[in-house]
Amino acid sequence: MRTYAVYIRDARYSVPSLAFVDVRADTLVADLARRKLEESEHHLAVEVLDGETLLFRVARDNVE
């Protein structure tokens, strides 16, 4: 199992939320990020980090 840091940019707040998630398979972390993005209409983007390395970012169509 591997632990990732997940930052969630939310339109209601100026600071992203931080969550630590344990994922059994590395291939599942992208799925988890997409689900986090879709949890709320206010979620604008989700960034997944392994340690201090940004692995990827998913965002709504109108968000950079």
CB 46 within 8 A of CB 33: yes
Sheet containing strand 43-50, strands side by side: 17-23, 2-10, 43-50, 53-59
Write phi, then psi, for 37 (nearest 5 degrees): -60, -40
* pLDDT tens, position by position, 3-48: 999 999 999 999 999 999 999 887 899 999 999 999 999 999 999 9
pTM of this prediction exceeds 0.85: yes
Tokens 């339109």 map to which residue?
11
User: Which one-letter amino acid corresponds to residue 37?
Assistant: L
Domain boundaries, the chain: 2-59
